[in-house]
Structure 1
Amino acid sequence: DRYQLEFKLAYPIDRAQKRTHYRLSIFIFVPQNLGIHRHSYTSADFYRDIQNYIRLKTPSMSLTELAEEPASPLNVMTRLLREGNWPKDRETAGQLINSFKFTRAILKSAIRDELEAFVRQMAGRADDAHLSSALAEQINDLCAQVQTVVRAYRTAETLLPETIESANPLIQEVRLAYKLSDEAISLLVERDYVRALLLLRRLPQDERVRQVAACLAACAEAEAAYRRAQGYTSVIDPNSRNEEYMYRASVLKKYTSSVLFLYRALRREGTVLEQVLYAVAAGVSMIFATLVAFYFQQRYGNFTTPFFAALVVGYMFKDRIKEIGRLISSRYLQRYLYDRRIDVRTMDGQERLGYIREKMHFIPEGEVPPEVMQARNRQLMTELANDGQGEQVIRYDKEVTLFCNAFEHIYPNMPQFTGLNDIMRYDIRPFLYKMANPTERVLYVQNGRLRKAKAHRLYAVNFVLVYQDKDRVQGDGQAVIYERSRAMMDRKGLQKVEVFA
């Protein structure tokens, strides 16, 4: 997406403790000429532009464990189908449907981990002939393991009664969930076969690499043919716009991932304290006005000009004292409290897994921690570009608290969950409004002749992420993680993103 930056964070739980705590801070360094400051970009604007997706972390299993481990969702599914109690028990039927979805979720995670390991092995060694043959064999083994899992899943269909043979709504519901998950699995493995094929094309093309590539291509085509034979409509047609394909692929992905979704209850933090402080401010102002009125009434009596003037002046100061008290209270709350709190629960609301507190505000550069400024690594040209005024700095703080015991009660028949994933998407369109034209024609001289060239104008917005496991830092003093990212953008959106260690 040209208009969104994505940050993905993991919050693993420590089962040895009742609670696990994390603190995250993101410092956004914005050039002065983009017109982003505390008056033009409020906290409400920021929270409008940032979107949080909080999910359960997919249980970690290898493809071999998914196929062979008794507690894997694939084998739990087979066991529940063979026991045959699910058509009469909605709870068991629900466990069966969840096992379909978890099979796809864990399969996706396991294949992704394997492919990422291949990419790491290829880094800087893509021309190594020995590595080429070894990777080809590993990818071939991966393909075989994926096919083993997929065959086991599809074999389980023989244990399902035909929908037309029964009016039992549970049978219809379970069979529909099975077919939807089956289509989602087929789309997933076809996509990953293609990704593996692209990796092979980056290697030296010896005989073994070509054989494995041909096998992957055949497997990908077989998946498309399978979906067509099953009557699934998520098949690419090169002569159409493939709107149905994109729509079904997106819906099926959300459907099978729904077992990882969590319910988020959002509310402002410190609402009660805010009202108490406002009431105190109103009370102080009323005390002042009342004392003034009593004094002048006793001194000059009722229905006199001084008493009337005192009432007016007292009311004037009462109003100002009240507003000043509200202002002081707001600053106090902003300094010591967070903007909002997100309670994280399971979708059925049965388990409260933790809560997240968020806060956003602009800070002067003098308040930026030295370690963050060092990670920012600002150069001379940046100082000159901002007329020596520095940059506008947005600080976004997030404090995460997880209740470790609650994770043991989620999906008891599935593998244990080890934490949460937090995916943050940040819309950068407000940064684009005051940018100049993205390209400009410039003249230069070459070999005595005037020539034209196109120059591209980019703006850099830097993000420094500070990630801290509060328990570990307080316990054994481990270092906090600092990571800097630079988003290069123009009026048309993001052009590239660079990550620095």
Structure 2
Amino acid sequence: MINIRTRIHDNYSVEFKESFVVDAGYRKNDFAVNTWIFVPNSLDIHPDSYSKEQFYRDVKSNVRLKTPVYLLRDIAGGDAVPLGYLRDAMSVMAKAPDTANIAEYEYQIKMFCAISKSSIRDEVQHILEKREMEDILKSCDNYMGYINGLVQGYRSLEQIIDVPTAGPELRAHFSFGDEFLSYMSVYYSFKLIKLLEGNPAAERQSAALKDFVRDTGHYRSRKGFPAVSADNRKNNDRLIYRYGVLRKYVASDLFIELEKKKDGVAVEQLYYSIAAGVAMIFATIVTVIFQKSFGSFPILLFLALIVSYMLKDRVKELARYYFAHKLGKKYFDNKAVINIKDQKVGHIKEGVDFVSASRIPAEVLEMRSRSNLMPASTHILDEKIILYRKLVTIDSHLLAQNSVYPLTGINDIFRLHFTSFFHKMDNAEQWLDLLEKDGSISKVRANKLYFINIITQVKDASESRYHHFRVKLTRDGIKGIEDLSREETL
């Protein structure tokens, strides 16, 4: 199964989170993602102005394991699996702080924090999506019990490493997790406080959440963790930076380092060798024919040899072009191996090309035509179409063997930066004349918008679905993204 979520990451980029969930019933799981990007012709994006290398520079991709899913209420329990794994790892490390035990201790801290962050986020999002206030208030009461249980459960383990064998450097890892959890618990609690704000019926729950935030702030101060300050900008800047570092630290054991290599290199060289051989055969045949026909005329034979040599190079280039075109259909630009703890569990391939409308599936063209803002605008506006292909293969058995936690797949989080698209845009602000009731003329401001339509097809063994997004741009950056998806199972 493949899930896609998208959001605006910053003024100039859109983030796509593609989740590839394996089916444990099949050892080999293949996933395909085809993304068509429809670019207005006025932006002057075409093969001569926008190369493959530029596209890959505009794409930033992070591949990571899917965080194991646990409910917040389960983690908050004293016998929760993640807390149990962490407790065991800390106890073993405290008794024998060797390299392997230290690595496991650090790994379990990171996993507990990553799992906790996801569970807090999911619980809060679940509450935010509720409609009945009575249900919301009950869920907030539960949340307070869960969040207190989680942070107190983690902090209670600190005594395990309060021993001579665990030096300051080892205790610092636990402190990193403590600081991260205190920040995340406050961050998501604020979302609930804002939800309840101004509602008299929620006074008790709102007060409890605010007390939790204050208590956590006092705890952070005692521990020496930086906190938000109303009048200290440098402190707040450090806080943002520190949180970014902690976030990367916690997620580091989930991220997968990919070393991209060109795909189909051996086959490419074989085809190019065949092209050279075809050209040589052609030149040899021409030489033999002319030698038999004009052997007694040295000048004509000399000219024939020159012509055959010239044509040989052209035949070689035509053959190379033909084979390269064939390779482009079957092979990809890049290939990367997915390794977990030095074991290969799969691979990712990617490729990008400009394509014509004749090479696009009818379903995609129909979805694109339905999203036109003006009737018949397809016939008025020209677009260049970029096809970004991705093929992911995962061995579900090897994936499951690499962790004590249930690993269900990977996430490919990639950002598409549109900075290259802004160069040929008009000024963002446009002015329109308006005739007022008194006959005077005034000017009103409007944005000069450009629309990039992105249609993504996701395929696995069981289904094929489409997602349609429309990105609104001005020269000043991204103004919005709309989900126009009308998913179809084919």
| Among candidates 24, 49, 56, match of residue 15 of structure 1 | 24
Alpha-carbon deviation of 1:233?
A: 3.2
Alignment of 1:379-418 (within 5 A): 379=372, 381=374, 383-384=376-377, 388-412=380-404, 415-418=405-408
| Among candidates 89, 113, 117, match of residue 122 of structure 2 | 113
Does residue 1:452 correspond to 2:443, yes or no?
yes
- C-alpha spacing 1:289/1:82, structure 2 compared with 1 (3 Å): closer
Does residue 1:184 correspond to 2:180, yes or no?
yes
| Among candidates 196, 214, 217, match of residue 221 of structure 1 | 214
Contact persistence 1:70–1:76 (CA under 8 A) = no
Deviations 1:181-213 (A, max 9, x none): 111111111111112212222xx6124x12211
Alignment of 1:129-148 (within 5 A): 131-148=132-149
- C-alpha spacing 1:58/1:302, structure 2 compared with 1 (3 Å): farther
Aligned residue number for residue 476 of structure 1: none
Does residue 1:35 correspond to 2:44, yes or no?
yes
- C-alpha spacing 1:80/1:339, structure 2 compared with 1 (3 Å): closer
Question: Distance in 2 between the 1:73 and 1:444 partners?
Answer: 64
Question: Distance in 1 between the 2:169 and 2:117 partners?
Answer: 24
> Match for 1:246: what amino acid?
I
Contact persistence 2:256–2:339 (CA under 8 A) = yes
- C-alpha spacing 1:256/1:236, structure 2 compared with 1 (3 Å): farther
Question: Distance in 2 between the 1:65 and 1:389 partners?
Answer: 55
Contact persistence 1:87–1:171 (CA under 8 A) = no
Aligned residue number for residue 327 of structure 2: 333
Question: Distance in 1 between the 2:121 and 2:296 partners?
Answer: 84
What is the RMSD of the two structures over their aligned residues, measured on CA atoms?
2.1
Question: Distance in 2 between the 1:369 and 1:192 partners?
Answer: 43
- For residue 121 of structure 1, give the secondary structure of its aligned residue in structure 2: coil
> Match for 2:71: what amino acid?
S
| Among candidates 412, 416, 419, match of residue 426 of structure 1 | 416
> Match for 1:198: what amino acid?
K
Aligned residue number for residue 200 of structure 1: 196
Question: Distance in 2 between the 1:300 and 1:497 partners?
Answer: 71
Does residue 1:344 correspond to 2:334, yes or no?
no
Aligned residue number for residue 109 of structure 2: 100
Question: Distance in 1 between the 2:306 and 2:218 partners?
Answer: 86
Contact persistence 2:66–2:254 (CA under 8 A) = yes
Q: TM-score, normalised by structure 1?
A: 0.89
- C-alpha spacing 1:251/1:86, structure 2 compared with 1 (3 Å): farther
Contact persistence 1:86–1:93 (CA under 8 A) = no
Q: Bigger shift: 170-179 or 134-143?
A: 170-179
Does residue 1:4 correspond to 2:4, yes or no?
no
- C-alpha spacing 1:383/1:417, structure 2 compared with 1 (3 Å): same
Question: Distance in 1 between the 2:296 and 2:139 partners?
Answer: 98
Alpha-carbon deviation of 1:259?
A: 1.7
Identity of aligned residues (%): 29
Contact persistence 2:77–2:149 (CA under 8 A) = no
> Match for 2:470: what amino acid?
R
Does residue 1:288 correspond to 2:282, yes or no?
yes
Contact persistence 2:93–2:102 (CA under 8 A) = no
Question: Distance in 1 between the 2:147 and 2:332 partners?
Answer: 46
Contact persistence 2:36–2:387 (CA under 8 A) = yes
Alpha-carbon deviation of 1:230?
A: 0.8
Alpha-carbon deviation of 1:264?
A: 0.9
For structure 1, the 5+ residue unaligned runs are: 123-130, 474-479
Q: TM-score, normalised by structure 2?
A: 0.91
- For residue 130 of structure 2, give the secondary structure of its aligned residue in structure 1: helix
Question: Distance in 1 between the 2:390 and 2:333 partners?
Answer: 10
> Match for 2:421: what amino acid?
F
For structure 2, the 5+ residue unaligned runs are: 1-9, 486-490
Aligned residue number for residue 51 of structure 1: 60
Aligned residue number for residue 496 of structure 1: 480
Question: Distance in 1 between the 2:337 and 2:88 partners?
Answer: 35
Question: Distance in 2 between the 1:345 and 1:423 partners?
Answer: 17
Aligned residue number for residue 477 of structure 1: none
Question: Distance in 1 between the 2:157 and 2:397 partners?
Answer: 34
> Match for 2:387: what amino acid?
R
Aligned residue number for residue 362 of structure 2: 370
Contact persistence 2:435–2:441 (CA under 8 A) = yes
Contact persistence 1:3–1:429 (CA under 8 A) = yes
Alpha-carbon deviation of 1:441?
A: 2.0
